[in-house]
Amino acid sequence: MARPPRSLGCTLDYQASGPSTFVFAVRPSEDPPARQKILRESLTLSTGQPGEEWRSVDGIRWLRVLAPAGLVQLRYEAEVQGEPVVHDPARITEMPVQQVPQEALHFLLPSRYCESDRLTGFARAQFGGLAQGHSRVAAVCDYIYQRTAYQRGSTDVRTTALDVLTDAAGVCRDFAHLGIALTRALGIPARFLAAYAPHLQPPDFHAIFEALLMGPEGPCWYVFDATRQTALDGVARIAVGQDASQVAFCSIWGNAQATGMKVRCDPEPGTTKEWTTAAVSVSRG
């Protein structure tokens, strides 16, 4: 169902001490594969050059920029209309590996930040006896939310899902990595989702995850947020990947440092930060 349009955007500032190459992923994905429409958008660069744009097979809209020394600023504004699908979680089941679509099989495998192979025993002991389906992935999120402190500065770019489970602290990407690792350890495909999300304080890019389950109309990616910081049906999908290493909003080759970042995602008119237990999908593939 189409939702009211809302405004979102970001401003990213960097200081480069020499020629540097930037690769950005800040523009929301289009339909397909995302269940959303870009009604309008604008992107400006301080370099005065348009940059090189392309879209990967998974729908990520990349931008490569070669910048000289000095200030590098990206400004992005958009109006996005979400079209999330909401299902009754009681009707959603898991699927055996032989039924997982070929293009999703790699989301069963361990990755840089999600060591699902090292968490298989723990996941089976903790969640193996639960009823299969959407509720089991929701139970994984409940476990993480109840036992992990949301603590800025507690982790860094080296922190993995196993670290988060051990240290019981992290930020949104860490919550997502642990959710992905435990879900994969249960034999359910799971992937990292970078998004714009309303109601975050302070405003920032948000990291959540998706699990591939059998919905009423076939295999469907359902979104989960173990931090419980935003309304699931209000997120705007930017990118998906095995973990955060594949979907960074900015990667830099050269000598440049971030000096400022502002992110905003206005909530839909009349909505509140209400946590839902329904099964929500913001992706077609």
* pLDDT at res. 238: 98
Tell the burial category of 270 from Cβ atoms under 10 Å away from its Cβ (0-12, 13-18, 19+).
exposed
Convert the pLDDT of each residue in 100-150 to its tens digit: 999 999 999 999 999 999 999 999 999 999 999 999 999 999 999 999 999
* pLDDT at res. 48: 86
* pLDDT at res. 172: 98
* pLDDT at res. 3: 85
Domains and CATH numbers, the chain: 6-82 (2.60.40.2250), 85-247+271-281 (3.10.620.30)
* pLDDT at res. 180: 99
CA distance linking residue 229 with residue 140, whole number of Å: 16
* pLDDT at res. 270: 61
- The pTM of the full predicted model, rounded to 2 decimals, is 0.96
Residues of the chain with pLDDT under 70: 1, 270-275
Q: How large is the angle between the packed helices 120-127 and 172-185, nearest 10 degrees?
A: 80
